[in-house]
């Protein structure tokens, strides 16, 4: 991990930055050797692990269309004349959809569907802090693998729970959330032991890109399975795959470089030496009072809440929007719902490479890079103009991370029934939001590497609360009038995103906090 001197503003101590980063840059690792290394292998394994995790999380968002009886008046919201006309090849209310015979259908209203989709997050919020704490105590490998196996096994029970009733399905979704809630804090605990500072953005973004790649594959795949096999097979196929991958995880992943039997001596030395100053994992005691007083931590937490509102709103409700408002059938719905996530997948990996590139050139502090990829900050503009005017000053014109997605959502609210424009703006919003992967999303490891997993549990709790509220809010806002309701949904998400951006740019930091050091007094 970088020393605190490395993370301070460039204009204050550029020489310290160079001294701290020099040992890392002097490694002279070749690109091919790096890509074949143990740390990049871990990133690829985590990529596919998070692919499975998000496949299990989002499959209900598309299958609920096949599970519900859309022709039943009780399942549809009350609408006024302010609705989109049916597309030329579609029948009213989406009744042209054809599903595999024998799959049950349920008369669940839009409010009931919103509660079911939100139920996952009720469980998810419960285990965020526990996952971070357990990972620090028992290791990220054990906690993440256990969460993956539990989530996969519970997914297999989804058809049974749905047959018993909406309340049972909501309860199972809450259990799924509890099982999955430990996974992301555990991942951050692993990276605190594996990711060198100047490779942190690319490694962590390569791993987390699996989330959106899983979403991209799951939406169209689930739609096809619903049509030809029946919606229950979505849960059987993805749940079974997750169980197999969970076993594979325990066989090939190691807690830290010292435990890996096949890592080269040079790579082990490179990782260990680059992280020598970050301190060991935390014990049973935590500096909770100091954490509560930390403005940089609050900045991450607020950004998580505001950004995840937009992300989870689109993740859980975009298929419903495409079905009820724009009248795409389930096969079109699956493809178009997936389209924004391929852009997000590519953007996540590219932003990680770009962030590490900017850090390695010593023109930017860690705080500046994190704020750049979260949004357009005034301090970023000032630093670019003073340190790298000719090389990258044009980057200051790019409204990244949280700004452009908010603008895109406002645009969606005004295009109304223009199908092409709506899909383009939704895709743009989800693509650009990936820039946050190199911004506040990984800022925990910058400010407190010893407690990275626990801090992720804290901030992800804030994000999960928005995941609880957002789908339910969508159900209530759209229950009376579809177009007006969705316009309000997009406006709320955009306003929250802008607030989170301003708060993070004002109070965010890239410096290791005093309370996160080995010699800090525990509160």
Question: Which one, of 328, 302, 247, lies nearest residue 84 by Cα?
Answer: 328
The angle subtended at Cα 438 by Cα 434 and Cα 443, nearest 5°, is 125
The answer to whether position 95 is within a domain reads: no
| Among the listed residues 357, 360, 379, the one whose alpha carbon sits nearest the alpha carbon of residue 368 | 379
SS3 of 68, please? strand
CA distance 126 to 412: 33
The first and second tokens of residue 516, run together, are 């996160």
As a whole number of angstroms, the distance between CA 382 and CA 249 comes to 45
Burial class (CB in 10 A: 0-12, 13-18, 19+), 190: buried
| Phi, psi of 248, rounded to the nearest 5 degrees | -60, -40
Q: Residue 314's Cα: distance from chain center in Å?
A: 12
pLDDT at 58: 87
Instruction: Return d(Cα 370, Cα 111) in angstroms, integer.
Output: 38
Paired strand residues for 106: 68
Give a yes or no: residue 483 inside a domain. yes
Residue 92 lies in a domain: no
CA distance 146 to 190: 14
Domain that holds residue 253: 4-10+21-87+105-516
- Asked, for residue 15, whether it belongs to a domain, the answer is no
Residue 33 lies in a domain: yes
Q: Which CATH number does the domain housing residue 240 bear?
A: 1.20.1250.20
Nearest to 485 by CA among 101, 6, 84: 84
The Cα 147–Cα 190 span in angstroms is 14
Residue 93 lies in a domain: no
Of 431, 231, 278, whose CA–CA distance to 351 is shortest? Answer: 431
Q: List per-residue pLDDT tens for the chain, 523 residues long.
A: 333 333 333 333 333 333 333 333 344 443 335 567 899 999 999 999 999 999 999 899 889 888 987 544 444 444 444 456 665 444 444 444 466 677 899 998 878 888 898 888 888 888 988 888 898 889 899 999 999 999 999 999 999 999 999 999 999 999 999 999 999 889 988 988 898 887 887 888 889 889 888 888 998 899 899 988 999 999 999 999 999 999 999 999 999 898 899 899 999 998 888 877 655 555 567 888 988 999 989 988 998 898 888 888 887 778 778 877 877 777 777 777 777 777 777 777 776 667 666 666 655 666 666 666 555 433 333 343 333 333 333 333 334 556 777 788 788 878 877 888 888 888 887 777 766 655 677 777 778 888 877 888 888 888 888 878 887 788 788 877 777 888 888 888 888 888 888 888 888 887 888 888 765 444 4
Please state the domain count of the chain: 1
Asked, for residue 100, whether it belongs to a domain, the answer is no
Position 12 scores a pLDDT of 37
Tell me whether residue 354 is in a domain.
Answer: yes
Matching residue, tokens 């968002």: 61
């Amino acid at each position: 991990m970088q020393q605190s001197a490395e993370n301070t503003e460039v204009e204050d101590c550029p020489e310290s930055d160079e001294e701290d980063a020099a040992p890392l840059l002097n490694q002279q690792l070749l690109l091919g050797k790096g890509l074949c290394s143990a740390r990049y292998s871990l990133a690829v394994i985590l990529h596919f692990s998070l692919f499975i995790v998000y496949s299990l999380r989002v499959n209900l968002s598309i299958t609920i269309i096949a599970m519900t009886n859309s022709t039943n008046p009780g399942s549809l919201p009350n609408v006024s004349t302010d609705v989109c006309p049916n597309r030329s090849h579609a029948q009213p209310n989406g009744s042209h959809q054809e599903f595999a015979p024998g799959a049950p259908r349920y008369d669940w209203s839009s409010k009931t569907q919103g509660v079911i989709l939100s139920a996952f997050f009720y469980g998810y919020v419960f285990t965020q802090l526990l996952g971070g704490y357990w990972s620090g105590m028992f290791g990220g490998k054990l906690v993440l693998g256990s969460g993956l196996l539990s989530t996969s096994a519970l997914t297999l029970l989804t058809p049974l729970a749905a047959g018993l009733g909406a309340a049972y399905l909501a309860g199972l979704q809450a259990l799924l959330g509890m099982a999955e809630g430990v996974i992301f804090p555990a991942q951050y605990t692993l990276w605190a032991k594996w990711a060198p500072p100047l490779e942190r953005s690319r490694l962590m973004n390569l791993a987390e890109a699996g989330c959106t790649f899983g979403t991209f594959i799951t939406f169209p795949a689930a739609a096809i399975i619903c049509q030809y096999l029946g919606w229950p097979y979505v849960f059987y196929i993805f749940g079974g795959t997750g169980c197999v991958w969970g076993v594979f995880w325990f066989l090939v992943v190691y807690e830290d470089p010292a435990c890996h039997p096949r890592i080269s001596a040079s790579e082990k030395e490179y990782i260990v030496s680059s992280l020598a100053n970050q301190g060991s994992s935390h014990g049973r005691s935590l500096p909770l009072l100091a954490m509560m007083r930390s403005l940089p931590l609050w900045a991450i937490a607020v950004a998580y809440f505001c950004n995840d509102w937009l992300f989870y709103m689109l993740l859980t409700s975009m298929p419903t929007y495409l079905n009820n408002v724009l009248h795409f059938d389930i096969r079109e719905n699956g493809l178009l719902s997936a389209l924004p996530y391929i852009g997000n997948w590519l953007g996540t990996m590219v932003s990680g490479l770009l962030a590490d590139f900017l850090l390695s050139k010593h023109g930017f502090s860690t705080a500046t890079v994190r704020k750049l990829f979260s949004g357009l900050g005034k301090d970023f503009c000032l630093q670019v103009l003073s340190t790298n005017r000719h090389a990258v000053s044009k980057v200051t014109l790019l409204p990244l991370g949280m700004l452009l997605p908010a603008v895109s959502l406002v645009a969606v609210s005004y295009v109304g029934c223009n199908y092409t424009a709506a899909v383009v703006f939704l895709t743009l919003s989800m693509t650009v939001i990936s820039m946050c992967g190199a911004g506040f999303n990984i800022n925990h490891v910058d400010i407190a590497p010893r407690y990275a997993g626990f801090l992720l549990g804290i901030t992800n709790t804030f994000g999960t609360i928005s995941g609880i509220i957002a789908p339910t809010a969508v159900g209530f806002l759209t229950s009376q009038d579809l177009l007006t309701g969705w316009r309000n949904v997009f406006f709320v998400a955009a306003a929250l995103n802008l607030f989170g951006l301003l708060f993070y740019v004002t109070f965010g930091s890239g410096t290791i906090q005093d309370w996160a050091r080995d010699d800090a007094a525990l509160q």
